[in-house]
Amino acid sequence: MTEVMAGDAGQIAEGPYFDELAVGMVFDQAPALTLTSGQAGVHQAILADRLRLPLDETLAKAVTGAQAPLAHPALVWDVAIGQSTVVTHHVVANLFYRGLAFHRAPVIGDTLRTSTEVVGLRQNRAKPGRRPTGLAALRITTVDQHERPVLDFWRCAMLPLRDPEARTGHADDLDAVGQQPDAGTLAGLTAGWRLDRFRNAVSGTHFADLRPDASWRVGGGDVVSSAPELARLTLNVASAHHDAGERGRLVYGGHTIGLAASQLTRALPNVVTVAGWHGCDHTGPVHEGDTLHSEVHVERTEPLPDGAGLAHLRVRVRSTPVTGAEPADVLDWRPIAVLA
């Protein structure tokens, strides 16, 4: 967090505003976080994580060879996003994530550290009666305690300006920010894993049974609960997720993604892990008490050695607001799942 003078009130500990950012700035002051079984348990309770390997230590050891329990990928990306919020303390909205790729699968006991680089800036056109804002594109990179790459991706946050009269001149093309996950990185995530053991131990649909263009509407929804608790758990300091203020408290976008991931595994119970995302667009706000419903579609499949493969998916989420308003689209997520 940065500190700015505020007259007789002393200093304010807060993150930067849009007009205080410049391309090339790197923020790496968020605390490192060691993954624990307690964190994993709270995360599972809030999001109903249903991936088999993080839940079943015996199966995970047989498949991955790791001597410690596997961390849920959603816990890992939630921590990385949370650590990046030293830049987005004042976030108004998060527009997208792109090109998320896991380089390795952390286990409980690993320590995650994240750096966030400003890679693009675009000031928005001013709107009457609204505080001026701009879009900040960020490259987020996470490593473990041995400096091994764990995760990298891009996100775009809308931030207010401190000086409402400022004209920054920032006009970067943010459509060009980010890239598709590297195919070698995706395939390499599970290199050395015995996916045949997963396939032999678990009945039901596996990669060979998966039909491109298959789709499911997940029966029943999930109520969004414990929203600030999830943000606190993952070091997320974005004020919009903690302080109701004038606009009302918004649910952290990763909360919506996490519930979508849980609903995905109700459609495809034998997902081994999530290797990456093509992208993720937040198409509407979510508030605590809303109920989320998902539809899952298989866009294409890609074989890996030994009969396993990648499923390139699209998960669309609609929210039924607690206020009684009409249901609305809130998420368009394109994960890449590993199946045995």
54 touches 64 (CB < 8 A): no
Rounded to an integer, what distance in angstroms lies between the CA atom of residue 81 and that of residue 178? 16
Task: Estimate the share of the chain in helix, then strand, then coil, as percent rounded to the nearest 5.
Answer: 25, 35, 40
Q: The CATH number of the domain where 305 resides is what? A: 3.10.129.10
3-state SS, residue 212: coil
Q: Retrieve residue 316's tokens.
A: 């669309």
- In this prediction, residue 9 carries a pLDDT of 56
Say if 169 falls within a structural domain.
Answer: no
Least Cα distance to 39 among 80, 82, 72 occurs for 72
> What pLDDT is recorded for position 17?
97
What is the extent of the structural domain holding 154? Answer: 11-163+176-339
User: Domain tally for the chain?
Assistant: 1
Cβ–Cβ under 8 Å, residues 317 and 260: yes
Closest residue by Cα to residue 158 from 17, 331, 14 = 17
SS3 category, 233: helix
**CA atoms lying within 13 Å on the CB side of residue 170:** 22
pLDDT of the residue at 4: 45
**Is 171 domain-assigned?**
no
Please state the φ and ψ torsions of residue 331, each to the nearest 5 degrees. Answer: -155, 135
Per-residue pLDDT of the chain (340 residues; tens, 9 = 90+): 554 444 455 788 899 999 999 999 999 999 999 999 999 999 999 999 899 999 999 999 999 999 999 999 999 999 999 999 999 999 999 999 999 999 999 999 999 999 999 999 999 998 888 899 999 999 999 999 999 999 999 999 999 999 999 999 999 999 999 999 999 999 999 999 999 999 999 999 999 999 999 999 999 999 999 999 999 999 999 999 998 775 568 999 999 999 999 999 999 999 999 999 999 999 999 999 999 999 999 999 999 988 999 999 999 999 999 999 999 999 999 999 999 9
Q: What is the dihedral of CA 27, 31, 35, 37, to 10 degrees?
A: -140
pLDDT of residue 62: 98
142 part of a folded domain: yes
pLDDT in the model for residue 227? 95
Report if residue 117 sits inside a domain: yes
The answer to whether residue 274 sits within a structural domain is yes
Per the domain annotation, does 4 fall within a domain?
no
Determine how β-strand 271-282 pairs with β-strand 11-14: unpaired
Q: According to the model, what pLDDT value does residue 247 have?
A: 59
Residues 231/211, Cβ–Cβ less than 8 Å: no
Residue 2 in any domain: the answer is no
Kindly state whether residue 24 falls inside one of the protein's structural domains.
Answer: yes
Strand partners, 93: 158
